[in-house]
Structure 1
Amino acid sequence: GYKYIADRMLSTPVLIGGEESGGIGYGNHIPERDALLSALYILEAIAQSGLDLSDLYKRLQERTSYSSAYDRIDLHLSGMEVRSRLLEQLQNQPMTKIAGQSVVDCQTTDGYKFRLANDSWLLIRFSGTEPVLRLYCEAATPEQVRQTLNWAKDWADNVEG
């Protein structure tokens, strides 16, 4: 949660910190999520640029040559034993392909984050408190995100039985 990010922001010179649920905090401000300050920064960028928000976003994509889509699915598992089977498969049967894409790298810092050959990624992460499997994906297009998340959902359904 954000409390870990806030702790890091207090002990390290950080410009911005964020969490997966969308909370954003700023290093030169209070160590807490602040949506109002985020909104003010966006309004400032709009005022200074003279562009509307969608044009500002397009300009950012053009300047960085980056475009992406993102989505997530929460799968409610039938029990913690299913969670154990899924985790066992992730640990013992490393994935080499996901949704037709080769797996380039897998990080296990907070779940299993697979970086794929087409520069997309899939994160498979278990809830720490309930039998829920969270699937996150970012890819170049919404279609690629949908395909990857559907693949991950099918994988989990097959393991669940």
Structure 2
Amino acid sequence: MLPDARERAVVAFEESDGISGYRHTLEKDALFGLLLALEMMAETGKNLSDYLEDLFKEYGAFYPDRSGISVERSLAGPILREKIGKLAGEFPEGKTLSVGEKKLKITKQITLDGLKLVLEDGSWLMIRPSGTEPKVRFYIEARDPEEKESLFQLAEALTRKAIGGE
């Protein structure tokens, strides 16, 4: 969202419903999100439901969710980040993971602010340790709502492995 950043996002949001746009304030701005939605409707002549349906037809549907676990307090902070960070070496691009009944290859690994593994069907999971609390958060995006639980189970299993089977 910063003008001089190498990679730029057009719009960014966070889970507490904050939204910001490129070259707009970095602060949360609910009215900005509303104005973007109204502009989309004006430009396309479609209501938001119809526009979303068109996106699903073109790109498929994604089902995001989040969860997490608490860990021993002594792990909070840098220790937890270091342990989760070591997972990156064990799960490189090309490695196959079991997600429920499926076997899916990792097509992309992102280590910014945790570990994100993007899978060949477009689904992904992110393991993000808290910087201040004894918690690890899991963010997932499944291609099928029935696969969300399998992604959470995988994220938790990888996390427990990283922290020593706690």
With the shorter chain as reference, the TM-score category is: 0.7 to 0.9
Aligned residues: 153
Task: Give the gaps of 5 or more residues in structure 2.
Answer: none
C-alpha displacement of 1:116: 1.5
Report the RMSD for the aligned CA atoms in angstroms. Answer: 3.1
Is contact 2:129-2:135 (8 Å) kept?
A: yes
Is contact 1:85-1:160 (8 Å) kept?
A: no
Is contact 1:15-1:28 (8 Å) kept?
A: no
Task: Give 1:116's match in structure 2, choosing from 116, 119, 124.
Answer: 119
In the other structure, the counterpart of 2:10 is 16
C-alpha displacement of 1:131: 1.1
Q: What is the one-letter code of the residue matched to 1:123?
A: M
- Seen in structure 2, the aligned counterparts of structure 1 residues 121 and 104 have a Cα distance that, compared at 3 Å, is same
Is contact 2:84-2:115 (8 Å) kept?
A: no
In the other structure, the counterpart of 1:74 is 68
C-alpha displacement of 1:68: 0.9
Tell me whether 13-22 or 119-128 shows the greater mean CA deviation. 13-22
User: Per-residue displacement from partner, 1:33-55 (whole Å, max 9, x unpaired)?
Assistant: 32112112212333554433211
Q: What is the one-letter code of the residue matched to 2:25?
A: I
C-alpha distance in 2 between matches for 1:28 and 1:92: 36
Task: Give the gaps of 5 or more residues in structure 1.
Answer: none
C-alpha displacement of 1:147: 1.4
Is contact 1:71-1:145 (8 Å) kept?
A: yes
User: Per-residue displacement from partner, 1:49-74 (whole Å, max 9, x unpaired)?
Assistant: 44332112102323x33321111112
Q: What is the one-letter code of the residue matched to 1:128?
A: G
C-alpha displacement of 1:88: 6.9
Q: What is the one-letter code of the residue matched to 1:76?
A: S
C-alpha distance in 2 between matches for 1:107 and 1:137: 14
Q: How does 1:49-68 map to 2 (within 5 A)?
A: 49-62=44-57, 64-68=58-62
2:55 is paired with a residue of what secondary structure?
A: helix
Structure in which a larger fraction of residues adopt helix: 1
1:149 aligns with 2:152: yes
In the other structure, the counterpart of 2:31 is 36
User: Per-residue displacement from partner, 1:4-31 (whole Å, max 9, x unpaired)?
Assistant: x4xx13x369673414424321234334
Is contact 1:80-1:131 (8 Å) kept?
A: yes
In the other structure, the counterpart of 2:106 is 103
TM-score by length of 2: 0.72
